[in-house]
Amino acid sequence: MAELLIVYHSRTGGSRRMAEAAAESARGEIAAVLKRAEDTGPEDLLAADGYVFCAPENLAALSGQMKEFFDRCYYPVLGRLNGRPYAQMVCAGSDGENAARQCARIATGWRLKAVQEPLIICTHAQTPEAILAEKAIPEDQLERCRELGQALGAGLAMGVF
C-alpha cells in the first residue's frame, strides 16, 4: 500500500488542523502518516511514496521549525527522493507566497514533483494578539485541505504519480 507522509508544524493550531484534514481524507485511499516536523527524520521521508508539507508563514517565511526539519533532513535524502509527488499547504496571516516559494525551492532541490499549486489559507491575523491566538480554520477552507489529501491519496493509490 502506498504511503503519504504529511509533515507539519503548528504553533497556534491552524497548520495542524489543515494537516489533520488532509490526512483524514487521504486515509480512505492509502496509508497516511501524520507527523510533526520536529518528530520527522530522513527515514520517514525515505519510507513514503509522496508528501504534503504544511506550515505556517512566520514573518513572511516558512516557520523556523519547518525550516529546521528541511535543514536536518535535506542532505541525508538528497538524490534519493527524485520524482516523488508532493503538495504543500501554508497557513498565513497575510499572503503566504514567500513561504510557499521557500518550500518549493527545497522540494526542487530534492527533485520532487509538485502535483498541484500550493494551498494557502489566509487567516488575516495582523495584530500581535491575533497572530498569537489559537487559529480556527473555517470549514470551507478545511474542505480544501481534505480535497488536497484525497486527490494526492487517490493519485498514489492509482499509480498516477
Give the count of beta carbons closer than 10 Å to the beta carbon of residue 33.
17
Going from N- to C-terminal start, the domains of the chain cover: 3-158
Model confidence band, residue 29 (pLDDT cutoffs 50, 70, 90): confident
What is the mean pLDDT of the segment spanning 124-146? 96
Indicate the class that CATH gives domain 3-158: alpha beta
What is the percent of the chain where pLDDT is above 70?
A: 100
Which is more confidently placed, 29 or 130? 130
The per-residue pLDDT for range 52-99, each reduced to its tens digit, is: 999 999 999 999 999 999 999 999 999 999 999 999 999 999 999 999
The confidence score (pLDDT) of residue 9 equals: 98
E strand or H helix that includes residue 71: helix 64-77
Return the SS3 of 64: helix
